[in-house]
Amino acid sequence: MDSTIPEKANLLERLKARGFNVPPFIYLPPEDFRQERFQELEQFLKTHCDGYKVIARSAHLEERSFKSGTFDSFGTYADVGGIKYARNKMIRMAKTTKLLSIQRQQHFNGAPEIELEDMGVIVMPFIEGTGIMAKALDRTWEFGYCRDRSRKIQRGPYITQIPHDRRLVGLSTDIQDALGFQCEIEYIASPRGEIWIVQAKDISHIETLEQKESERSIRLDGVRRIRRRRNYRERALFVIDNKSFYIKLIGQCEDMLLGCPGPRPQIGDIIATVEAYQAEFLDFALKHQRYAVLGLSIQDAEDLYQIASHYLDETPELQARLSQALHDNLYQIDIFLAEADTMIAKDKLRINLGSHDAYGIDTVRNPLWSVYWHVDKHEEMVREFRRLGFVSGDTVGIEIDGDEKPTLFRL
């Protein structure tokens, strides 16, 4: 395999040379972007992309060392400006939204340091259809389906061993045999029945092996999960209680404006409270490779958020600083939640699963679980969690019975 070309491009080229149905594509190394060298790209777009849209896929030399989905792909306009925009967005996302994921993989999995400006790009025509991800587990092929954007009524991601087109079983076996190692294959199935191979990844190095109950337990109402082979897991727990956080912050604002016993807080103290809250997320995420989030209050504190954001409206400069800090804080909470593989919260909160999140190889041993209680019991459940004393740093077990009812207990 050519070590100067990313795995993603190398494997597509090998499959194309073997006669598999790979869409036309071009790999653009980072030097092409640095030197504004786009003649080949322009010719490719003119020859192969008669529509207005293409897919730009991330293609970094070190990408093979990170889990699937770490770096983004984007639909974009079929011109040089669109490709440059998509690459800049890939780099920007890696520096912001995906930064915690990258740091955790470096910390826990030995992923290398990476120079994001060395990001290359694979460009291929945009293909309408259903995304399908295939891989063989215990010699049995499984197929993960994600949304078909062309359909009005959407279905959530799901896994099956019986694909919609039986050709996929033989095709996947042929691809794996041709590459010579266990791989994860991404297809697009078009409405006309075509099956396009758009990505392959070597997963031969990833293990997928299988892995006490306390009296202090609490029974919940249900669980949503893609895989049902395991009915028990243990996780480090982080408790998110945004309601209490905002009340504390509003109290500080009140003390700053109205005075209080002892030193009066300043805007720097209030901003420091927000930053300390964010630091708890980062510290926890880098200490625990797998963790659960207990959401006592995540999205149900909007009124308090608005009060906190505008409490200092009479001093616009201070209010602007506080509003920006609170806005950034919401963003950091979303990033932290995205790294959790277990969500424990009221039924209203759902994990928005993409294809890699739902059934990528990295989820086989640790699939995403969304454990919930019914919304009408929310206040009662929050009181019960507080009575039992669940706090961040606890280790909890979740056991699911035959009726798909989970019980949560502290170890």
- pLDDT tens for residues 155-179? 678 889 999 999 999 999 999 999 9
Indicate yes or no: pTM above 0.75.
Answer: no
Which domains does the chain carry? 7-202 (3.30.470), 217-410 (no CATH)
Calpha distance 216→196 (Å, rounded): 52
pLDDT, one tens digit per residue, over 33-90 is 999 999 999 999 999 988 789 999 999 999 999 998 899 999 999 999 999 999 999 9
Which stretches of 18-56 are DSSP H helices? Answer: 30-34, 39-48
DSSP code at position 398: E
For residue 159, the model assigns a pLDDT of 86
Would the pLDDT of 211 be above 50? no
Neighbouring residues of 368: CB distance < 8 A, sequence distance ≥ 6: 225, 226, 341, 342, 343, 351, 353, 357, 358
Mean pLDDT confidence for 132-139: 87
pLDDT band at 403; cut points 50, 70, 90: confident
User: If pLDDT is split at 50, 70 and 90, which confidence band does 26 have?
Assistant: very high
What pLDDT digit, counting tens, does each position of 240-260 carry? Answer: 999 999 999 999 999 998 888
Q: At residue 183, does pLDDT exceed 90?
A: yes
Structure tokens at 136: 């063989």
